[in-house]
Amino acid sequence: MSKWNWKVKREKLAFLALEDGTIMRGYSVGAKQDGLGEVVFNTGLTGYQEILSDPSYSGQFVTMTYPEIGNTGINVADMESRGFFANGFIIHELNESSNWRADESLSAALVARGIPSIAGIDTRALTSKLRDQGTMKAYMAVCGDVSEADALQKAKDWCGLDGQDYASKVTCDTPYAWDEDGSLTQSWGISDALPEADLNIVAYDFGIKWNILRSLRLSGMNVTVVPAATSVEDVLALKPDGVFLSNGPADPAAVTYAAKYVQSLIGKVPMMGICLGHQLLGLALGGKTYRLKFGHHGCNHPVMDLSTRKVEITSQNHNYAIDMDSLNDSKVEVTHVNLNDQTVEGIRSKTDPVFSVQYHPESCPGPHDPFYLFARFRELMTK
């Protein structure tokens, strides 16, 4: 399909089968490949490329609530990882790209990367259903050879994400040093000299995004990225000034090995965690996690920093949260709360130099309000 061809065949031959028995019809605009996933909705008006390439969306069908998607296309600079990780993409209206930055159209990129996508769906009705009834398992049928009854049964029978370790599926294979100069110059067009990197950190890759790595480098840190199952001994052998616990997909309670590693590192090295890394730190500090009804997915979630009483607008993507009542308040302080539902958005240890937040302070997509947290991490290490 030409990047300038805005016309798409609209016979509603594809459909989405939700586990509650609902069938929603549309037309295929991605790869001709059926699939299973948990359906979530994202309230962002844009940023679909960053969303698709965020490893935290592995295992999920992402529904965009904004009705028209695709007009800026796909380009190399805005990728947040080595590929697309969402299991599928659900939109209302596909607008093929007419933007000067586009290297390929959205539909062409989905086809090339094997991601099924369905358009023509009433995404606001679907969002209302998920908001009222909660996240659902679903089967996306785009090939035309699966009956509605079979698709519904496949959705019901699928294990879903509870109890599943997806961090091991999306992590890097081997350790690597982040190429900060090449990335920032080529992707962002930053030609000015970068700040001196006077700190060395190790970042656990549970599904890390590239802009996290850029943000750490812009904050004066050299970063070595390691796979999710890297032992504490191997991490400490790198003599890091700090350890970063990244974002990632699915159920934190299933990533038991990582929680044990984090627990062993507490007191040995300063740590900062975000998203899944935040949840793993909560588990390491004795807390518990639970599934939210429909999760937090979008770039407009208000969060209060309780130390300053300032409110920041944040980018989020998670289905699980730390149970506030499970935390030992003599050892753990809740530092941030979500103003929509009062869930835990940040914690810190009262005895050791570790802290974490539930959201994504690096944005991409999203606001830059929380970027100060990287400076807090620096301060934690330099003190």
Largest CA distance in the chain: 62
Spatial distance between the Cα atoms of 162 and 372, rounded to a whole number of angstroms: 33
How many distinct helices (H) and strands (E) make up the chain?
A: 11, 19
Out of 180, 299, 360, 364, the active site residue is 360
Q: 20 Cβ partners below 8 Å, 6+ apart?
A: 133, 136
- Closest Cα to residue 296, out of 6, 70, 44, 97? 44
Out of 50, 180, 275, 318, the active site residue is 275
Q: Is 156 exposed, middle or buried (0-12, 13-18, 19+ CB in 10 A)?
A: middle
- 325 near 287, Cβ under 8 Å? no
Residue 299 catalytic? Answer: no
| DSSP-derived secondary structure for 253-276 | GG-HHHHHHHHHHTTTS-EEEETH
Residue 304: beta bridge partners? Answer: 311, 337
| Structure tokens belonging to residue 198 | 């006077």
- Closest Cα to residue 170, out of 60, 283, 47, 41? 60
Out of 38, 296, 362, 364, the active site residue is 362
Residue 379 catalytic? Answer: no
- 249 near 276, Cβ under 8 Å? yes
Compute φ and ψ for 207, nearest 5 degrees.
Answer: 140, 40
Handedness of CA 163, 62, 370, 218 (dihedral sign): positive
Alpha helices in 1-88 (DSSP H): 48-52
* E-state strands within 35-105: 35-42, 60-64, 68-69, 88-90, 93-94
Q: How far is CA 381 from CA 189, 192, 235, 238, 274, in A?
A: 29, 26, 16, 16, 17
Residue 172 catalytic? Answer: no
CB atoms under 10 Å from CB of 122, counted, come to: 14
Spatial distance between the Cα atoms of 346 and 198, rounded to a whole number of angstroms: 27
Q: Which sequence positions are flagged as catalytic?
A: 275, 360, 362
